[in-house]
A and B are shown apart, each in its own frame.
Chain A
């Protein structure tokens, strides 16, 4: 059974810091891995999608890496801003299209 774990569960940093969020999964047979952002009481915003054959994806200040063999992905946020405060979720996609989500990392960036 696929399990997805995110560490840390919560993170508080001062504005401007670079930070790394971690995601690990137990079954390497994935189709892709996605990172999402969720603001309180809101739906999901897709940030980055990494196909199983890719090693990383970049979008602006965000960079996500994938090491399928070790079952790990990281989301790197450069020069964090207060507007980055949210919960970040990673999810692995199986061949069926089903997404298995981690518990999320709640990030607070202090001005």
Chain B
């Protein structure tokens, strides 16, 4: 089946630094990818929709200048957490629809655990 990978799987950084997380669709093309955030003991919350070749769309309450999303190719979307702070520590997960059009089954990456000290 289709696979979505994320890199890194785990990252620890100091407060004030920026961290880039990559999401790749390994054997299929994804014009759309989704980024989610999961705090401990909580469910996944959609942060933004990444669109290949155009700007990402952000959910209400998500700062677009803090969470920079770049979808430069049909297989890669990146999320950069700029000037990270301890409250940004979370589990970040991306997903990509199995077929064009965004709806239908989605494949999820294994997640990236970010810890900001």
- Write the residues of chain A forming the contact surface with B, with a CB cutoff of 8 angstroms: 31-32, 34, 36, 41-44, 46, 49, 89, 91, 93, 95-104
Contacts and interface: CB of A to CB of B under 8 A. Distances in A.
Query: Of residues A36, A49, A97, which shows the largest number of chain B Cβ atoms within 10 Å of its Cβ?
Result: A97
Given A41-B113, A96-B103, A104-B43, 10 more contacts: A44-B93, A46-B107, A97-B34, A97-B102, A98-B34, A99-B34, A99-B95, A99-B106, A101-B43, A102-B43
A29 to B, nearest CB: 13
A91 B34 CA distance: 14
* Top-8 shortest CB links A-B: A97-B102, A43-B110, A44-B108, A43-B111, A101-B43, A101-B44, A103-B43, A97-B103
B103 A93 contact: yes
B104 interface: yes
B32 interface: yes
B49 A96 contact: yes
A46 B108 contact: yes
Contacts of B97: 97
For the residues of B in contact with A, the DSSP-based class is strand
A43 B93 contact: yes
Contacts of A32: 103-104
Nearest to B109: A43
Contacts of B102: 96-97
A20 to B, nearest CB: 20
Contact of B49 (A42, A93, A98, A103): A98
A96 B101 CA distance: 8
Nearest to A103: B43
B89 to A, nearest CB: 14
Contacts of B101: 97
Contacts of B110: 42-43
